Structure 1
């Protein structure tokens, strides 16, 4: 069913994308999951806003035994469409197979407190709500200058509050926690950008981390439990960089390095 939805969503794509998508579905049905992942990854690069394509790619990677990359794909799908329950279910299945099922890093407390109500909204819906309240407020203020409207100041104040809340939610959706997933069996995390250091702690395939900044071939990451340190960028796959869902095609690009080598 989800495959059919994805096919509908890319109907207007280029012939090459449609060909890759069809080849991916065929390869998946035939049990050639590595080829299916390759084809779906090509589609994902061309259609980075299509949640169902990332769901399909996650399925292919899961079946191919690439747990870390599958986690990243399902996370990407859920960022694009939080209502895609099939991706949520499969994400839980993959996480159950990881070594410790490490929880996802959470947004800042103030984000959770202010925008919890928008968790289930797509980014476009959140932006649409903000635009709706902006136009509504503008219409109210314009009308109030033309004719007498009872309690217009109270309505305008409420409109301003709703506009601020929905605009904040839209911003939060557009700027989520820079998330990445460990794709090596074991990933050492160091105090500094040097493999000569004793590892501070270990990550395992499928573990999700927040990427705070990068420096050359290194990334400063933190876990949901507050552990923090540097690791090799090649050992993680970023959730928001579709071209990187198959190993070796890039690295995460969160905020630039502006601090010292040590966290």
Structure 2
């Protein structure tokens, strides 16, 4: 009975997803971009973590004239599906239309050095590679106990290295650098968490910064060149996870 109920819920959930997705797509195709944005955002709020949804949501935001949320959603799609050609193309196009065309902050230098090879891998692939390497290592050690394996030490070291690096890759992909994207035309990054604090730099729509800390509705952010400051959370889109909706236009410029 429990299995039947779970299966029924899965079917109903899939049907609800398809209905909402088709309605949002129909709104987009008819030029009703506000309704398309609302429909895709409802899917995201319901827990849909799907690169196609984020890609289409990015397109709907772009057509609505909001390049910041568009960029954030293209980044989401690419984080889930690295190498997604359509998202890469549209992201590049929209970035070229931003005021500053600011480069994206990179992950820490030690990760760049050790994991230069994993940019096209998803979390699932890295995890599978780590698991396969560990199993291969223990299988090799077990085989060595009953039958002499030529060069087994070299093979063991190679398997151990692959297992450790792919495991590190999986961990880093499960704990990605949190990005924030300027949501509207201009947001002020300040030295502290008050609108009275001195301005540090200006964040234009579509500018991407790394998030180091969250405190009381403010984010401590870092630009690609290492400049840090605080910006109000309602002035940016968080790439996530978690996947929160873009702040409404009315929230800007308080």
State how far apart, in whole Å, the 2-side matches of 1:243 and 1:178 are.
11
Distance in 2, matches of 1:235 and 1:207, equals 12
Q: How does 1:197-208 map to 2 (within 5 A)?
A: 197-208=197-208
1:170 aligned partner: 170
> 1:189 touches 1:201 (CA, 8 Å); kept in 2?
yes
Which residue in the other structure is 1:252 paired with? none
Distance 2:225 2:40 in 1: 34
Aligned pairs for 1:94-243 within 5 A: 94-241=94-241, 243=243
Q: Name the CA distance, whole Å, in 2 between partners of 1:140 and 1:47.
A: 42
Two-structure CA RMSD over aligned residues (Å): 1.7
| Greater shift in the superposed pair: 187-196 or 11-20 | 11-20
Runs (5+) with no aligned partner, structure 2: 1-9, 249-254
| Alpha-carbon distance in 2 for matches of 1:74, 1:220 | 23
What's the offset of the Cα at 1:198? 2.1
Check whether the contact 2:24–2:35 (CA below 8 A) recurs between aligned residues. yes
**C-alpha offsets along residues 56-113 of structure 1, whole Å, 9 cap, x if unaligned?**
1111111111111000000000000112011011011111121111110001111111
Q: How many equivalent pairs are there?
A: 239
Is the 8 Å Cα contact of residues 72 and 239 (structure 1) preserved in structure 2?
Answer: yes
- CA distance in 2 between counterparts of 1:166 and 1:182 reads 33
User: Contact conserved, 2:66 with 2:184, CA < 8 A, in 1?
Assistant: no
Evaluate the alpha carbon distance shift between residue 166 and residue 29 of structure 1 in structure 2; reply closer, same or farther with a 3 A threshold. Answer: same
Q: Give the Cα separation in 1 of the matches to 2:49 and 2:138.
A: 31
Q: Quote the residue 1:258 is aligned against.
A: none
Question: Structure 1 segments of 4 or more deviating over 6 A?
Answer: none
Give TM-score scaled by structure 2 length.
0.89
Paired residue secondary structure (2:96): helix
Distance 1:11-1:106 versus aligned 2 partners, 3 A rule:
farther
Q: How does 1:49-88 map to 2 (within 5 A)?
A: 49-88=49-88
Residue 251 of structure 2 corresponds to which residue in structure 1? none
1:229 Cα deviation from its structure 2 partner:
0.4
Following the alignment from structure 1 to structure 2, what is the Cα–Cα distance between the partners of residues 151 and 12?
55
Aligned to 1:15: 15
Deviation at 1:184, TM superposition (A): 2.3
SS in structure 2 of the partner of residue 116 of structure 1: coil
CA-CA distance at 1:147 after TM superposition: 1.9
In the alignment, structure 1 segments of 5+ residues that lack a partner are: 1-9, 249-263
Q: Report what 1:251 is aligned to.
A: none
Q: Distance between the aligned counterparts of 2:184 and 2:40, measured in 1?
A: 21
